[in-house]
Structure 1
Amino acid sequence: METNHYQYITEQIEHYSSKPLREAIFFVIKNAIIEGIFLPGDRLTEDDIAQQFNCSRTPVREALRKLEQENLLQVKPGIGMVISNVDIELLHQELEIRKMLENYSIQKACEGITEEELKKLEWATDKLQQAINSNDRIAASRANIEFHRLLYSYSRNTFLQKTTDSLWLSFRISFLSARNEDVTMVDKSWYEERNNEHLQLIQAIRDKDVEKAIRVNTIHIQKNYDYYLDYIKRVSE
């Protein structure tokens, strides 16, 4: 395991210290995969992770098995456990499910969102704009995830929030593109247009205009997926 992997995991461990060990390991490794700390094809071993978490291999094995079930890890004969490549078919499936679940969350948010919660959405858009201004695509991806996770949380539906924990394949691609492309090539106008859609969505929710909110969000999700698919096409050529 490389030095930057150890550093990232060390920083994340404390954040999940209140969770059972197998869950903490699962979330720390999952975040590392989503944020591009671990890249497709990177090999993971139970011994390395157990050493980092200062634990036995049993909770590590349980966490890795769950990550494999979410298609983030795969076993390769003669190699072992490796980070999975991006599956385009899964990305298309995520697109359809995410539209339904996120638009449902928006509908529920329109029914009972508070001004404080609206402010949190606005703060997330501010973070995203700051990241755009500084050409920091890693920070931009984090701010974007924060915005959409807030939307799910405002559904007041615990089951939905747990279900959507596995719907971050598209955000993984966002982080990977940030890691693998020259940050000076960031298309600021494209990112600003997406952030403007966030602002339009916030206003529609504030106005309790469910139809407009769902229309804005559906377009927003589709444009993001078009971007991710274009990225996959370019890196595959």
Structure 2
Amino acid sequence: MPIPATSGSLGRSLLRDDVYTRLRDAIVDGTFAPGENLKDGDLAEWLGVSRTPVREALLRLAESGLIVARPGRSTAVAELEEDAVRDARDVVAAMHALAARTAVPALSEEHLDRMRDANARFRAALAAEDAVAAVAADDDFHDVLVRASGNDALVAVLDRYSPVLRRAEVLRFVSLDRFTSLERHEQLIAVCAARDADAASALVFRTWHSLPVPGGGSGG
């Protein structure tokens, strides 16, 4: 797929994180297809920025496993590989379980309301079969516990390994089992409201570890 003709320029003051987020999301939602070559000049023109933040973003994307950088040759969108998804899934599931165990005892009603709101958006996205919106709402839902944990190291690990799973999630949410996550969300809200940290941790782990691996089925 070629670089889109328009993007809505993000401006010269665009932060590095914004460039990274735009490119990451374009890979996750399929704007840039697996195997597609990415040229920093084309990407810089698309985003309306210089090449420097684009090159820095590409390095981060390579670390996250979303692109394959070949020095002196080309940079391409990575294929969705079974081993990479399985490894990321195992790490992400463990981190979310830890976040739940840490956060649940101290959750406020505001935290629970944010989870309910995100789940309502998640339900609407599933009903509309909008996989990208479903992934975004799902991220917002689980991010409540992650941020409430107050563990910056945990957040950094998730930022490193979650992008690979986001690509797999887009496929998952348009499959026949897409409503399973909705049911688990509702269960998680209930155990969080009851301040049952052990149950929340176990449920979150099963939710993330059930993510199907391309070519290998689910592991949980």
Question: TM-score w.r.t. structure 1 length?
Answer: 0.79
Q: Is the aligned partner of 1:154 residue 2:148? A: yes
Match of 2:183 in 1: 196
Q: 1:221 to 1:59 in 2, by over 3 A?
A: closer
Question: Which whole-Å deviations, capped at 9, do the CAs of 1:99-155 have from their partners, x for residues lacking one?
Answer: 221111101221211101111111111111112222323322222222122221121
Q: Is the aligned partner of 1:90 residue 2:79? A: no
How far does residue 78 in structure 1 lie from its aligned partner after superposition? 8.5
Q: Is the aligned partner of 1:215 residue 2:215? A: no
Match of 1:81 in 2: 75
Match of 1:112 in 2: 106
User: Equivalent residue of 1:167, what SS?
Assistant: helix
Match of 1:27 in 2: 21
User: Equivalent residue of 1:191, what SS?
Assistant: coil
How far does residue 157 in structure 1 lie from its aligned partner after superposition? 1.9
Give the distance between the partners of 1:106 and 1:34, measured in 2 at CA.
26
Residue identity matched to 1:210: A
Match of 1:70 in 2: 64
Give the distance between the partners of 1:56 and 1:191, measured in 2 at CA.
40
Match of 2:169 in 1: 174
Residue identity matched to 1:174: E
Residue identity matched to 2:45: Q
Aligned partner (choices 50, 59, 83) of residue 44 of structure 2? 50
Structure 1: where are the runs of 5+ without partners?
none
Q: Which has the higher contact order (CA 8 A, sep 6+)?
A: 2
Residue identity matched to 1:175: V
How far does residue 79 in structure 1 lie from its aligned partner after superposition? 5.9
How far does residue 77 in structure 1 lie from its aligned partner after superposition? 8.0
How far does residue 193 in structure 1 lie from its aligned partner after superposition? 2.5
Aligned length: 216
Residue identity matched to 2:85: L
| Aligned 8 A contact 1:105 1:155 in 2 | yes
Q: CA RMSD in A?
A: 2.6
Aligned partner (choices 86, 97, 104) of residue 103 of structure 1? 97
How far does residue 6 in structure 1 lie from its aligned partner after superposition? 4.8
| Aligned 8 A contact 1:36 1:176 in 2 | no
| Aligned 8 A contact 1:106 1:214 in 2 | yes
Give the distance between the partners of 1:232 and 1:10, measured in 2 at CA.
37
Q: 1:70 to 1:193 in 2, by over 3 A?
A: closer
Structure richer in helix, relative to its length: 1
Residue identity matched to 2:207: H
User: Equivalent residue of 1:154, what SS?
Assistant: helix
Match of 1:2 in 2: 2
Give the distance between the partners of 2:49 and 2:71, measured in 1 at CA.
26
Structure 2: where are the runs of 5+ without partners?
none
How far does residue 57 in structure 1 lie from its aligned partner after superposition? 2.0
Question: Which whole-Å deviations, capped at 9, do the CAs of 1:1-56 have from their partners, x for residues lacking one?
Answer: 736x354x437x37xx8763x33212211121122221111111111122123333
Q: 1:6 to 1:141 in 2, by over 3 A?
A: farther
Give the distance between the partners of 1:61 and 1:135, measured in 2 at CA.
34
